[in-house]
Amino acid sequence: MKTIGLIGGITPQSTVMYYEVLNRLASSYYGGVHSSKVLINSLDFGEVSELQEKGHWNILDKMMSNAAFSLEKAGAHCILICANTMHLSIHAIQAVVNVPVFHIAEATAIQIKSQKLSTVALLGTKYTMEKTFFKEVLSTFGISTMIPDKLDRQIIHNVIYSELSRGELHNNSKQAYLSIIEKLVAAGAKGIILGCTEIPLLIKQDDVAVPVFDTTTIHAQKAFDFAID
């Protein structure tokens, strides 16, 4: 099995989720007590979130590319960014490494197309919902993307940064998310992208009437499939 490099810490909760998914996949595939070969370079989310808020994406690009370069030097055969938002730095990363860096939106788009859906709603941080980096990838697959209205986007973002990033799960926040999802479905969304790697902690497929796309699991599966080739 090839070694998978994870740029983690953005947040620690999502990094744990990636690690758990990859090891569960390895145990299922190989049997017994097998686990995935993983290297993790874990960043400080407090520092990352402050730079995001200040709009210092050039500094974040450097931080992310340094993390990726160190993973490749340590022996990683591919790299995953363990966060949707920080795929804003994927081009900076790809410029400094020679191993594949799998895009979370591309992996998600393939799953959406496999279900023959053309209109989906995207939940995530305000950066993921409002910037174009995720939606542009989906559009190349012929997928139209809806996002919540401004007030709902702020609710989603605040829950991610003040609760989910700390591993806190609150029922009132879950109900707020489900109410937002219901509005999006009523407006025409045929599927829901959980476009922040922590949202699957709060929202499950059983909670929603339309298909839900867990980007964390989809992304990890993409790297695992590569690693076992």
pLDDT digits (tens, 9 = 90+) for 145-204: 999 999 999 999 999 999 998 989 999 999 999 999 999 999 999 999 999 989 999 999
Query: Do 153 and 187 belong to one domain?
Result: yes
Geometric angle at alpha carbon 110, from 210 and 174, rounded to 5°: 35
Q: Say whether both 146 and 183 belong to one domain.
A: yes
Q: What is the pTM of this model?
A: 0.93
Residue 229 has a pLDDT of 80
Task: Take residue 153 and report the two structure tokens written for it.
Answer: 């986007």
Same domain flag for 85 and 117: no
Query: How many structural domains is the chain composed of?
Result: 2
37 and 99 in a single domain? The answer is: yes
- Note whether 118 and 97 are same-domain residues: no
Cβ 101 vs Cβ 76: under 8 Å: no
User: Residues 90, 134: one domain?
Assistant: no
Counted residue by residue, the chain has a size of 229
Looking at the fold, whether 73 and 147 belong to one and the same domain comes out as no
Residue 67's pLDDT is what? Answer: 98
For residue 14, the domain's CATH number is: 3.40.50.1860
What pLDDT sits at residue 197? 87
204 shares a domain with 130: yes
Query: Burial of 132 by CB count in 10 Å (0-12 exposed, 13-18 middle, 19+ buried)?
Result: exposed
Q: Are residues 110 and 183 in the same domain?
A: yes
Regarding whether 75 and 140 lie in a shared domain, the answer is no
Could you give phi then psi for residue 42, rounded to 5 degrees?
-100, 120
Same domain, 188 and 170: yes
Q: Return per-residue pLDDT of the chain as tens, 229 residues.
A: 999 999 999 999 999 999 999 999 999 999 999 999 999 999 999 999 999 999 999 999 999 999 999 999 999 999 999 999 999 999 999 999 999 999 999 999 999 999 999 999 999 999 999 999 999 999 999 999 999 999 999 999 999 999 998 989 999 999 999 999 999 999 999 999 999 989 999 999 999 999 999 999 999 999 999 999 8
Domain of residue 98, residue span: 4-103+218-227
Residue type, position 107, single letter: A
Residues 87 and 44 in one domain: yes
